[in-house]
């Protein structure tokens, strides 16, 4: 799958999850470095927020998770909030649906 279509599909899936909080206007996945770069328009914010997310893909049996490991934002408060959430046990882990796990793992792991 081309990078263009991968980025579009991932953006669409994440926008569905984040619809109550805002919308991703730009997303670039770099599977080689296991990082995402996003521009997000959050509800209540007057300007977009840029984020860089370093991640891993974890598997346990037939379950697969997208796990952010580090998040840096263009606003200090969002970086601090992300650090706090990432220190919590499983708050940031996103389970990838079984039907999509194989293709998602292949795309996310490069």
Q: Which two tokens stand for residue 77?
A: 């408060």
pLDDT digits (tens, 9 = 90+) for 24-75: 999 998 988 999 999 999 999 999 999 999 998 888 888 888 888 999 999 9
Under 8 Å between Cβ of 62 and 79: no
Bridge-based pairing state of the strands 49-60 and 35-42: antiparallel
State the Cα–Cα distance between residues 94 and 18, nearest whole angstrom: 12
- Structural domain including 41 reads 3-108
Tell me whether strands 94-96 and 35-42 are parallel, antiparallel or unpaired: unpaired
Q: How far apart are CA 56 and CA 35, in angstroms?
A: 9
Domain count, the chain: 1
- Which residues, in sequence order, are bridge partners of residue 73? 51
């Amino acid at each position: 799958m081309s990078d263009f279509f991968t980025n579009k599909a991932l953006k669409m899936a994440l926008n569905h999850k984040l619809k109550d909080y805002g919308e991703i206007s730009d997303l670039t996945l770099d599977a080689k470095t296991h990082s995402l770069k996003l521009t997000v328009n959050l509800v209540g914010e007057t300007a977009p927020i840029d984020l860089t997310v370093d991640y891993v893909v974890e598997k346990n049996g037939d379950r697969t998770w997208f796990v952010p490991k580090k998040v840096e934002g263009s606003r200090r408060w969002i970086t601090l909030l992300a650090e706090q959430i990432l220190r919590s046990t499983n708050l940031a882990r996103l389970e990838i649906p079984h039907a999509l796990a194989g293709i998602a793992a292949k795309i996310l792991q490069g």
